[in-house]
Structure formats: structure tokens, C-alpha cells
Chain A
Amino acid sequence: CDIVHCQTLFSSAKDAEKSTEIKKLAALQRESPRCISLRTYIDCLVKQKRFCHSDITFNGNLAGLKAKMNRHKCSADPEASIFDPETMQVTGPRPPSVDRMCSYSGKPIYKQCGLFGD
């Protein structure tokens, strides 16, 4: 359960809030640049869910972040932008959540194989 990683990411996202790019994107989404940072933080925490589900700090942070998202009137739209830790750029739409990612969504043509008897 790596909450520190998410906090670091949130810090980087906050530092980038003043950039023209983030300001433009936030304006396009009709929200504050802080929303992009908060969504980045939440997105990171949600990916940790399976490791952190019984961690009090994790649950407290998640609840606090959701409250902050409401206060800033941030969009909860999964297509809204987040800060990408790899490119250090704002990106949208958001990558699929772990849960969505772990449900096969390909073309459902199935093949079967079996082995039995002697």
C-alpha cells in the first residue's frame, strides 16, 4: 500500500497547476486547475485499493479527497483530465481504472478445448 507515491504525484500535479497548459485544460472543463491535481491523486489511490483497502490513512485520504472534489465542484467524469506521472503532462481521457482494465472487453468469439478419457 503505497500512499506516499500518490502524495508525491499530487505534489507534482499541484506544482504544475500554474502552467498555461493546465489552466487551458481546466478552463475547457470549466473547473479549477486544482481539480486536475485532485483527480490525479484520487486516480492513484484507487489503483492502490486492493493493497490499501484496510488502511485507515488510505480510507481517510480518499474520503477527504472526495469532499475536496465536491468543494471545488470538480467533475467526476472518468474522461476528465489528470496529470500523467510518466510524461509529467496533463492527459485526458483518463486511463481505464484497474477494475475496468481487468475485465476482458475484446470480441467475444470463444474457442474451446477439452481432454478426457484414455
Chain B
Amino acid sequence: PHLRMFNEEFQTCKVEGAWALVDNKHLTVQVTNDPVINSGDATATSKLTVIIKKNEDCASSQFITYTAQTGHLPGSFSLGQTHYGPERSVEVIEKEPGKSVVIYLRYIDTTIKVQQIGRYFTFAIKMPEGVLNSSEISDKLELCVQGCPINERINYKQYFSEVQRTNKHSKMALSKALKMCRDASVVDFYFDSCVFDLLTTGDENFTAAAYQAWQDLIELNPELRQTQDNRTELPIVPSSAS
């Protein structure tokens, strides 16, 4: 999957299996990434678990769990409740049944957005800086904080170059992928990711996922400005155009 870290760095990773995105004294978010059907090595997020830690005053005297799995994006927490704490201090809001939910934790002003597009999930979180730095153990792995381990990272530029040179391993023609992603109006890292995903899987749902991830970013922080260039566009010229 593609990761936008809290420090605004972008990475594309393998990270197959279960990984923690966030793990601090208030909450843990864990994802499970599985191989994408019929696409070789590509992996995408098929399960997501949010654990809101015990907070007697503002959440619950027990852990609160939310779990989404492919084909099941519930509109409530695991015990069936949609809110906890005084004045709905913790709340899950179903934006679009089975497709989009938002979890809001008022006492730490944290918003989590989970969407299912095709078989896989997109995840976005917005959190105050002070809360984000509340990890009890400083060296535990949180993908959103430290990023993916080096051996899990994918050099997509190298991948694009190989596709351009050999046209091997590609599930879709580069020219078609570039056109689809341009038509989807995604930009910057999200454009690169869109092209990468189409080349590796041929699954057009990933175009929508890239667009949605970009929209989530803007929705959660309307003032955010993306400054990166369309990196895919610069080094690669589709063979048909050349």
C-alpha cells in the first residue's frame, strides 16, 4: 500500500500481514495487508482494527474496538454501540453504509476515516501533534510515525523504469494507466500511486482509491497544500507518445 506519514513523507511498501499504523497511549490502529487477487506480489489492506484504550472519564472503562474486514465495514463498534462517553465523546458515524465511516474521539480531537473501495480499504487519520507524541514506548513501530522498514519499501521509480523498458510484470499498458489516472484528476503522490496500482494489478478500483485518499487529505485539512510534482510524469514517457 501507499503511506502518507505524519511527517508528510510518502512511501510505497509491501508490509504484508499485520502492522500497526498508530500505537500510542490513547489508541492503536492496526491493518492487515493481503496479496491482491491475481496480481502477484501486490498487497492491499483487507482488515483494519481500531482499539480505543481505556479512559473512564471520556471513553469507556474497557477497551473499545472497531473492526472492518473486506465486505464488512460496520457502522458501530464491536459491541454494537455507536458512541461512548459523555456527550458522545467517542463516536462512529456511518457516512455511507458499508462504504465509509468516520470515528471521532472528541477528547483527543482525533478523526479517523475508513472507506472500502472494491475489496480494499483506505485509511486516514488526523490527530493533534501533542496527542501523536504520546507513545509510552518510543521505539515501537508505528508506520504512520517511522514509516515502513527499509526492506519493506518499494522503489516505484525503479519499477516504472522496468515497466517502461521491458513492459514485463505489468497488468495494464502504461499509456492506459497514465490516461486513467489523469482522467481521475489525482495529483502528486496520489497520481504516482494510481499509476503504480493500475500497472501492478490492472484493478481500476485503485484509481478511485487514490482519488479518495487525496480527497480525504483535503477534507481532513482543507488548508493543506501539496507541493510535490507529478513524479511519474517526469521520468516516464509512454512508448505510444514517444
Contact = CB atoms under 8 A, between A and B. Distances in A.
A and B bind: yes
B21 A113 contact: yes
Interface string A72-107: 000000000000000000000000001101111011
Interface in A41-97: 49-50
Interface of chain A: mostly helix, strand, loop or mixed: mixed
B131 A106 contact: yes
Interface stretch (B39-47, B62-70, B72-80, B158-166): B39-47
Contact of A112 (B109, B200, B221): B221
Contacts of A117: 1-2, 44, 120, 122, 193-194, 196-197, 206, 209-210, 213
B109 A102 contact: no
B6 A113 contact: yes
Interface in B175-191: none
B128 A106 contact: yes
A113 B22 CA distance: 9
Given A101-B58, A104-B109, A118-B120, A112 B87 contact: no
B122 A115 contact: yes
Contact of A107 (B87, B108, B128, B197): B128
A115 B14 CA distance: 12
Contacts of B42: 118
A6 B169 CA distance: 70
A28 interface: no
B213 A114 contact: yes
B101 interface: no
Contact of B4 (A99, A110, A114): A114
Nearest to A113: B144
Contacts of A98: 57-58, 86
Contacts, number: 130
A61 B36 CA distance: 61
B123 A102 contact: no
B103 interface: no
B123 A115 contact: yes
Contacts of A102: 57-58, 85-87, 89, 106-107
Interface string B201-228: 1010010011011001100110010000
A97 to B, nearest CB: 9
B36 A118 contact: yes
A114 B201 contact: no
27 contacts: A104-B109, A104-B131, A106-B128, A106-B130, A107-B128, A107-B130, A110-B128, A111-B6, A111-B132, A112-B125, A112-B220, A113-B22, A114-B122, A115-B1, A115-B2, A115-B45, A115-B122, A115-B123, A115-B143, A116-B121, A116-B213, A117-B120, A117-B122, A117-B196, A118-B36, A118-B43, A118-B206
Interface of A: 49-50, 98-99, 101-104, 106-118
